[in-house]
Amino acid sequence: MSISDSSDVSRPVDIDWQLWALGLTGPFANKTFRLLFAAQICSLVGVGLLTVALSLLAFRIGGTAAGGQVLGLVLALKMVAYVFLAPLAETLSAGISRKRVMVSLDFGRMLLLLPMAFATEGWQIVALAFAFFALSSGFTPLFQSVVPDVLPDENDYTLALSWSRIAYTLEAILSPVIAATLLNVVIGEALFYAAALAFSGSVLALLWARLPQGIFTGRGGTLLKRTGYGLWVHWHTPRLRGLVLLKFALSLAMAWVLVNSVVYAGARLGDADRFFPILMACYGAGAVLGAVIVPGMLRKSSERTTMFIGTFGFAVAGAAFALSPPSSLPALGLIWLVFGIASSLTLTPGGLVIARSATSRDRPAVFAAQFSLSHAGWMFAYPLAGWLAGYTSLELALLILSILCAAVAIAALVVWPANDPQERPHAHPDLPTNHPHLTSVPTFGAQHQHVHAFRIDDLHSSWGEGAA
């Protein structure tokens, strides 16, 4: 089964026996994907080291009084860049090869890391970090949109999404360990150089990769219209609206885990330094296990069902924990393990839903819109989780967030119908019979009805329009 409407220029026809002997099957049999995955690993390590380096630099410059404020501002601007600049970055890339755009953005991020080591004022950190995140807001959605074209086979792409989720999870666990190891032999500012070195690996991998040919062709109309195209597709596609709601629902409950786990370890267990890493290690192990489970689940059920199980399961686990928190560390570890599994069930299939909902031409815009919308949810969920825990209690905050998570997840099921076929019979009574769209597919009936993978685009502006 294919999810791509464009030919793959790099995928081998058959898997070489030597690759099979090395375990390079599925998506890893594709050389281009291997290079893209290597670029992702290098980029994730670079971002992880940057996060630690920024935290240390903010504390060094701002001290106890202002260090947190500087870092908080940096992280807030990160969300602003991701929410508002991602669609604009995609629009401005029109007419440029995708490979050139990604290499340029990655190289730019690498260069920005170097002057960060010499920053001596808070405003310098903020400015450089914002520029870095602005480039990331353009790079990440584009990178995500390329993978379905490299792996047109749906099974390979599904496995690639799982590996990507595993990489994200392991980076979150291992980057602080790598940073701590480096800090034993270098000063904190040297972490910026280490991050730049990691990004240089990403640049080299991208340069070596043979990506499918093609440029952003862009769309007509005003800059505002072209920037909002991905959002327009989301609004008119039920499954994408449901995807946004499910991710937002997850963010409400998951934010509590990411924001308050360290507080819980300190306030309830009495030693944040000792128990917080254990809890998050259990969460990370669960996230990896969930990513491994996802491909098998998707062979038996839809993305809608899998993602709902993950989101609603997270809410149920959160509510149960809030109402009756266990006292033993193994039981707490099991809860955090369940949190991790549930998060991967929700987050992993998202790329497959987007790939099915947009043509190759439109995927960069749709991925950019999804990137923006999902981070908008987190921009709301993070402060809400912190405020509720401070205003009420840790347990009551989790209970409230879990109830909200469950409610939004149920709303997503209403928005995203269970009967959601990829191919839909429809007609275009307004098009002439010799229109290229009608001549490219078999038609039947007086209105030249036809069947193909139905996606919102210039010719299909409404999900139900023309449907039989």
Query: What confidence tens digit (pLDDT) does each residue in 223-238 have?
Result: 567 678 899 999 999 9
Report yes or no: 73 and 126 within 8 Å, Cβ to Cβ.
yes
Q: 14-215: what fold?
A: Growth Hormone; Chain: A; (1.20.1250)
pLDDT bucket at 466, cuts 50 / 70 / 90 = very low
Mean pLDDT in the chain? 87
| H or E element at residue 14 | none
Burial profile 408-447: b = 16 or more Cβ within 10 angstroms, e = fewer: bbeebbeebeeebeeebebbbeeeeeeeeebeeeebeeee
- Distance, in Å, from the CA atom of 348 to the CA atom of 306, rounded to the nearest integer, reads 10
Q: How far is CA 218 from CA 87, 97, 365, in A?
A: 12, 12, 9
CATH number among 3.40.50.2300, 1.20.1250.20, 3.20.20.80, 3.90.1150.10, domain 228-417: 1.20.1250.20
Alpha-carbon distance of 136 to 85, in angstroms, equals 10
Q: Which residues pair with 97 in a beta bridge?
A: 215
Dig out the tokens for 200 from the structure: 């240089």
> Is the pLDDT score of 212 beyond 50?
yes
Bridge partners for 444 per DSSP: 449
Cα–Cα separations (whole angstroms), residue 8 to 5, 35, 39: 9, 15, 20
Please say if the pLDDT value at position 222 is more than 60: no
CB-count exposure of residue 207 (10 Å: 0-12, 13-18, 19+): middle
**Closest by alpha carbon to 49, among 149, 166, 172?**
172
Residue 95: what residue type? G
What pLDDT band is residue 468 in, cutting at 50, 70 and 90?
A: very low
Q: Are 407 and 315 in contact (CB under 8 A)?
A: no
> Residue 172 has what pLDDT?
84
pLDDT at 409: 98
Judge whether 14-215 and 228-417 match in fold.
Answer: yes
What percent of the chain stands above pLDDT 70?
89
Contact 44, 136 (CB under 8 A): no
Q: Which residue, among 92, 171, 173, has the nearest Cα to 135 in the 3D structure?
A: 92
- Give me the pLDDT at residue 2, please: 64
d(CA 298, CA 353): 12
The answer to whether 221 and 347 have CB atoms below 8 angstroms apart is no
Closest CA to 354 of 373, 341, 339: 373
Residues 6 or more apart whose Cβ sits within 8 Å of residue 381? 248, 251, 252, 254, 255, 401
pLDDT digits (tens, 9 = 90+) for 342-400: 999 999 999 999 999 988 888 989 999 999 999 999 999 999 999 999 999 999 999 99
* Tokens at 442, concatenated: 């078999």
28 pLDDT more than 80: yes
Global confidence as pTM? 0.88
With beta carbons less than 8 A apart as the criterion, state whether 413 and 406 touch: no
Q: What is the domain partition of the chain in residue ranges?
A: 14-215, 228-417, 430-462
Q: Evaluate whether 196 touches 42 at the Cβ level (below 8 Å).
A: no
pLDDT of res. 75: 83
Report the pLDDT value the prediction gives residue 326, as an integer from 0 to 100: 87
Residues 57 and 125 sit within 8 Å (Cβ to Cβ) = yes
Mean pLDDT value across residues 279-308: 95
Residue 348: per-residue pLDDT = 97
Q: How many CB atoms lie within 10 A of CB 184?
A: 6
- pLDDT > 60? residue 19: no
Taking residue 97's Cβ as centre, other Cβ atoms within 10 Å add up to: 14
Phi, psi of 425 (to 5 degrees): -70, 135
User: In the numeric block, which tokens belong to residue 231?
Assistant: 């959002």
* Residue-wise DSSP of 386-427: HHHHHHS-HHHHHHHHHHHHHHHHHHHHHHS-S---SEEEE-
Q: What is residue 24's predicted lDDT score, i.e. its pLDDT?
A: 63
Specify the higher pLDDT residue, 138 or 460. Answer: 138
Q: In this predicted model, what pLDDT tens digit does every residue of 118-168 receive, in sequence order?
A: 998 989 999 999 999 999 999 999 999 999 999 999 999 999 999 999 999
Which pLDDT band holds residue 217 (cuts at 50, 70, 90)? very low
pLDDT in tens, 401-453: 999 999 999 999 999 999 888 888 888 878 887 888 787 778 787 777 888 77
